[in-house]
Amino acid sequence: MKFRKKLVHGRLVRRYKRFLADVVLDDGSEVTAHCTNSGTMKSCLEEGAEVWLSPAADPNRRTQFTWEMIRIGGDWVGINTSNPNALAFEWVSAGLIPGLEGMTGLKREVKWEDSRFDLYGKGAEGPCFIEVKNVTLKEGKRALFPDAVTERGRKHLNTLVRVKRTGMRAVMLFVVQRMDVSLFSPAREIDPAYGSALDEAVERGVEVLVAQAMVRPDGIGFHRMLPVEL
CATH code for the domain in which residue 63 is found? 2.40.50.580
Whether residues 158 and 195 share a domain: the answer is yes
Whether residues 92 and 72 share a domain: the answer is no
Whether residues 62 and 151 share a domain: the answer is no
Whether residues 185 and 208 share a domain: the answer is yes
Q: Which amino acid is at 223?
A: H
Last residue of a domain, one of 78, 107, 130: 78
Whether residues 74 and 88 share a domain: the answer is no
Give the CATH number of the domain where residue 205 resides.
Answer: 3.40.1350.60
Measured CA to CA, the distance from residue 213 to residue 136 in angstroms comes to 11
Contacts of 165 (CB under 8 A, 6+ apart): 204
Last residue of a domain, one of 23, 48, 78: 78
Distances (CA, A) of 48 to 67, 176, 204: 14, 23, 45
Does the residue 27 lie in any domain?
Answer: yes
pLDDT for 4: 87
Whether residues 62 and 105 share a domain: the answer is no
Whether residues 175 and 111 share a domain: the answer is yes
Beta-carbon count within 10 A of 111 CB: 9
Whether residues 158 and 198 share a domain: the answer is yes
Measured CA to CA, the distance from residue 3 to residue 175 in angstroms comes to 18
Residue 212 lies in domain: 83-225
**pLDDT tens, the chain, 230 aa long:** 999 899 999 999 999 999 999 999 999 999 999 999 988 999 999 999 999 999 998 888 899 999 999 999 999 999 999 999 999 999 999 999 999 999 999 999 999 988 899 999 999 899 999 999 999 999 999 999 999 999 999 999 999 999 999 999 999 999 999 999 999 999 999 999 999 999 999 999 999 999 999 999 999 999 999 999 99
Contacts of 29 (CB under 8 A, 6+ apart): none
pTM of the model: 0.95
Does the residue 134 lie in any domain?
Answer: yes
Whether residues 196 and 133 share a domain: the answer is yes
Last residue of a domain, one of 33, 60, 78: 78
- Element (H or E) spanning 116, and its range? strand 115-123
DSSP conformation letters of 148-181: S--HHHHHHHHHHHHHHHTTSEEEEEEEE--SS-
Number of domains in the chain: 2
Beta-carbon count within 10 A of 110 CB: 16
Of residues 213, 217, 227, the one with CA closest to residue 84: 213
pLDDT for 104: 95
Distances (CA, A) of 177 to 88, 122, 124, 145, 206: 12, 26, 29, 12, 23
